[in-house]
Amino acid sequence: MIHLHTAPTGNGMKPLILLEELGLPYTLIPVDLKRGEQKEAAFSRLNPAQHIPVIRDDSNDLTLVESGAILLYLAEKTRRLLPADPRERALAYHWFFSQITNVDPCGRTLATLDRLGGGSPELTEGPIQTVRRFWQEAQAALEHADYLGGSYSIADIVAYTFVRRHGVRFGFEDFGALVRWAERVRTRPAVQAAYGKFPAS
């Protein structure tokens, strides 16, 4: 059995969507970030860095943190939602790592600046440019394909949770093909089921 400790944030939703897509049996343990449950002793033993998401996979005696590592682990374990063909797989990796290493940290920086009262244009311009550049690239790819990298994969999952959470703020509605892609992802039964676990999100 897989146990997922998570919350309805961009990173937190990635493994929940994937578990729903894969149809694997799992238990969901919500972590209330506002109440600081991620800093409590029981959670800190699972992840000393005090971040969600975390999975525990009893079948492999494995506790795993980092949303990207969790998605790769589950996709490789089941051999699903990562293309088998090396070329297509490389393209899926491109989108997957570009989102996780370039775009996700920008969301975190901007959220921190928000908490501190906004931040000057000098501080926010760089992160906003990075997000928009990624979306321009994604928009160009999605004019010729339904999903990033061709077929639906974990690359779409990681990009989607960010768009859903931060899209409007970054002027996402200017990107037609990206908006249509987001709607395709949003209406997938597994994605609906995942967000349905956290109705307030």
- Chain positions contacting ligand GSH, by CB under 6 A: 9-12, 33, 38, 50-53, 66-68
Using the CB atoms, write b or e for 118-129: b if 16+ within 10 Å. Answer: ebeeeebeebee
Distance CA 91, CA 109 (A): 27
Complex with ligand GSH: residue 72 or 177, whichever CB lies closer: 72
CB 143, min distance to ligand GSH, A: 29
Complex with ligand GSH: residue 12 or 83, whichever CB lies closer: 12
CB 131, min distance to ligand GSH, A: 16
Identify any residues that bridge with 56 across adjacent strands, giving them in sequence order.
Answer: 3, 63
Complex with ligand GSH: residue 11 or 98, whichever CB lies closer: 11
E strands within the chain?
2-6, 26-30, 54-57, 62-65
CB 105, min distance to ligand GSH, A: 8
Complex with ligand GSH: residue 33 or 179, whichever CB lies closer: 33
Q: How many CB atoms lie within 10 A of CB 53?
A: 23
Q: How many CB atoms lie within 10 A of CB 113?
A: 15
CB 140, min distance to ligand GSH, A: 26
CB 181, min distance to ligand GSH, A: 22
Q: Is residue 56 classed as helix, strand or coil in its secondary structure?
A: strand
The residue type of 137 is: E
Q: Token pair for residue 62? A: 């494995």
Complex with ligand GSH: residue 99 or 153, whichever CB lies closer: 99
